[in-house]
């Protein structure tokens, strides 16, 4: 039996296209995706890979404005789009926008099962007012079921009072094969790329927005605390941009010896070059719903040093096997982890192999099959 599934999500993220393509290939699923906006230029400089889309979709007219820490996004045409799409099941990626509430209320009015695709976790440090928490609770109580990427998101929903049998896991994924192939190609021209990209011979890598909550100042402090002989041998590369870049660059000039590079924002197609030549990924985030850069790094065969509060930590990082976990905002533990990997090449090698093995369980196809199984389980009770 084929079911018409309408998935509502914010933007055309390059990291979600492979997931939606895989879901559209499922024989039981007739997928249509409603995007609330093409992108969010105030936060991301992502290229929009429309040529890779292999599913039915539309982008609603929208108006966006940032007010302090809040991202306002108002859409037109949601109800009309839902009527035209005639969904038998709905999946909504979040509850923060007016369009999310329109989708939820429409589904309830038409007795259509409604999944919330939720990545929130208990370590999320974003400030929430009483009203926001109240509205979130109201939203959760009206959902039919929930899709989560892993253990942290499941624990969060359980803490919110959601019954475990209503939570289905669809493991977060990127296109592993694509990143692995790009990394292999990059390693075949290592010296050429080091010259082209201005990369140190050895380096730790950070990928993401340059904002305090990503732990970038902790990382710079941890690097500064490495022994001089290590900083002479191993550099630090930031691939990303953000409000704190200038402050980080100024602080970096005070660290000597050492090599610190700021590569700026790097598009998806070039990221594997940075992963391939690095010794390890470092994600010292203070708060992160998941951290797909860890998936990418592991697909490229890297060990990862990850903050224990990252949403992916419990699922992707097995301490001393394929990476190391550190406490958030603890530059000393971060220094110790970096020292451990920098001084043990055999350990780095083994961890990299283990990363590739472990991430093979996190693919777009496995995500799509998990979502399909969840939809069939819930929808069968409504047929």
pLDDT at 135: 86
**Cβ contacts of residue 219 below 8 Å, gap of 6+?**
206, 236, 282, 284, 331, 334
pLDDT at 109: 96
Cα separation, 361 vs 367, whole angstroms:
9
pLDDT at 145: 97
pLDDT digits (tens, 9 = 90+) for 97-121: 999 999 999 999 999 999 999 999 8
Share above pLDDT 90 across residues of the chain, in percent, rounded to a whole number: 88
Whether pLDDT at 371 is above 70: yes
For residues 204-226, b (16+ Cβ closer than 10 Å) or e, as one string?
Answer: bbbbbbbbeebbbbbbbbbbbbb
CATH number of 3-173+363-377: 3.40.50.2000
Two tokens at 288? 């992160």
pLDDT at 178: 96
* Section 64-71 average pLDDT: 73
Cα separation, 252 vs 367, whole angstroms:
40
pLDDT at 70: 67
pTM of the model: 0.95
Whether pLDDT at 162 is above 90: yes
pLDDT at 40: 84
pLDDT at 106: 97
Domain boundaries for CATH 3.40.50.2000 within the chain: 3-173+363-377, 176-359
CATH T-level fold of 176-359 = Rossmann fold (3.40.50)
pLDDT digits (tens, 9 = 90+) for 304-359: 999 999 999 999 999 999 999 999 999 999 999 999 999 999 999 999 999 999 99
Cα dihedral across residues 352, 22, 26, 383: positive or negative: positive
Two tokens at 92? 């909504």
Whether pLDDT at 126 is above 60: no
pLDDT at 133: 81
Of 175, 167, 163, nearest to 151 (Cα)? Answer: 167
pLDDT at 269: 92
pLDDT digits (tens, 9 = 90+) for 229-265: 999 999 999 999 999 999 999 999 999 999 999 999 9
């Amino acid at each position: 039996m084929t079911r018409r599934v309408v998935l509502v999500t914010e933007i055309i993220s390059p990291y979600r296209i492979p997931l939606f393509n895989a879901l559209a290939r499922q024989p039981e699923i007739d997928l249509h995706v409603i995007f609330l906006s093409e992108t969010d230029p105030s936060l991301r400089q992502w290229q929009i890979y429309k040529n890779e889309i292999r599913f039915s979709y539309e982008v609603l007219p929208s108006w966006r404005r940032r007010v302090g820490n809040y991202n306002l996004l108002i859409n037109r045409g949601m109800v009309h789009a839902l009527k035209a799409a005639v969904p038998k099941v709905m999946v909504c990626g979040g509850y923060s926008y007016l369009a999310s509430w329109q989708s939820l209320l429409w589904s309830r009015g038409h007795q259509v099962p409604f999944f919330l695709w939720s990545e929130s976790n208990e370590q999320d440090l974003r400030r929430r007012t009483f009203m926001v928490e109240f509205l979130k609770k109201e939203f959760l109580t009206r959902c039919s079921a929930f899709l989560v990427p892993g253990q942290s998101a499941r624990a969060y929903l359980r803490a919110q009072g959601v019954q475990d049998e209503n939570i289905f896991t669809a493991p977060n994924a990127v296109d592993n094969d694509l990143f692995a192939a790009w990394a292999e190609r990059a390693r075949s021209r290592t010296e050429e790329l080091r010259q082209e990209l201005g990369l140190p011979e050895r380096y730790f890598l950070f990928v993401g927005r340059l904002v305090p909550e990503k732990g970038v100042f902790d990382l710079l402090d941890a690097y500064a605390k490495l022994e001089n002989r290590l900083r002479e041998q191993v550099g630090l590369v930031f691939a990303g941009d953000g409000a704190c870049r200038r402050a980080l660059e100024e602080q970096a000039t005070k660290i000597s010896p050492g090599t610190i590079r700021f590569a700026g924002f790097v598009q998806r197609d070039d990221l594997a070059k940075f992963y391939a030549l690095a010794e390890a990924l470092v994600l010292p985030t203070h708060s992160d719903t998941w951290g797909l850069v860890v998936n990418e790094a592991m697909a490229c065969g890297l060990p990862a040093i990850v903050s224990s509060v990252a949403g992916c930590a419990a699922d992707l990082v097995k301490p001393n096997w394929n990476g190391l976990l550190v406490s958030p905002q603890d530059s000393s533990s971060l220094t110790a982890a970096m020292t451990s990997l920098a001084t043990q090449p055999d350990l780095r090698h083994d961890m990299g192999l283990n990363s590739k093995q472990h991430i093979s369980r996190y693919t777009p196809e496995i995500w799509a099959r998990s979502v399909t199984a969840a939809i069939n389980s819930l929808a069968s009770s409504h047929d």
